[in-house]
Amino acid sequence: MADLSSRRRKVAAEPPDPAAAMEIAVGYLATRPRTRWETQRRLRRAGTPEPTIEEVVERLGELGYLDDAAFARWWGEQRDRHAPRGARMIEAELRQHGVPRDVIEVYRAEHRAPERRPEDAAVPSSEAERAADTLARHLRGRPLPSDRRALQRVGMFLVRRGFDPDTVRSAIRDAGDESADDVP
């Protein structure tokens, strides 16, 4: 067993100055887009004083690196492309990332009536298309189960992904099961 006195102790470092705080924030933003809240939280973990945090976040916002509305659009697009979710689930995820309520409302209005670009033809645009895509990915080419309980499990899978029950029934009915009325 190692001697406890020989272990390194964490030495309290000086809080980062504005330039160091900016480097921390830029490094954090290098991996993917972030919200203002996430960046503020990262700077707080680094021990940055509040006035410096506000200064850095404000400057990054002016430069266009922090934009909660752009983050919401990016997040929704990533979900649509890689792991389709219902609108309720996407909005919940945006709240978890610190996106303000008014930005989520604007995103919701934009997301309900998206303008399709030719390169986005493979991306589902409506809630029903997202549910059907999620169901197809879940089934992986297998047929829908014929057992009522198994069908309910498939329906609950879609509900957990944020789709409302009417959309779930519709997706299952469109996939070929006429007994979808038994699904939640």
Mean pLDDT score, 81-94: 89
Residues 43 and 78 in one domain: no
pLDDT for the residue 54: 97
Whether residues 141 and 177 share a domain: the answer is: yes
What tens digit of pLDDT does each residue of 121-174 get?
556 668 888 888 888 888 888 888 888 898 899 999 999 988 989 989 989 988
Q: Is residue 122 part of a domain?
A: no
Is 121 among the domain residues?
Answer: no
Asked whether residue 120 is domain-assigned, the answer is no
- In a shared domain, residues 48 and 90: no
Q: Is there a domain that residue 4 lies in? A: no
Q: Does the pLDDT of residue 177 top 70, yes or no?
A: no
Q: Are residues 105 and 149 in the same domain?
A: no
Domain with 30 in it: what CATH number?
A: 1.10.10
Mean pLDDT rounded to a whole number for the chain: 84
> Domain limits at 81?
68-113
The confidence band for 9, taking pLDDT boundaries of 50, 70 and 90, is very low
Given a cut of 50, is residue 53 above it in pLDDT?
A: yes
59 and 73 co-located in one domain: no
Are 57 and 74 in a shared domain? no
54 and 81 part of one domain: no
Residue 154 forms part of a structural domain: yes
Number of structural domains, the chain?
3
Looking at the domain assignment, is residue 10 inside a domain? no
Q: Is residue 26, in this structure, part of any structural domain at all?
A: yes
Note whether residue 109 is domain-resident.
yes
Q: How confident is the model at residue 10 (pLDDT cuts 50, 70, 90)?
A: low
pTM over 0.85: no
**In contact, 128 and 170? CB cutoff 8 Å:** yes
Model pLDDT, residue 27: 96
Q: What is the pLDDT of residue 69?
A: 95
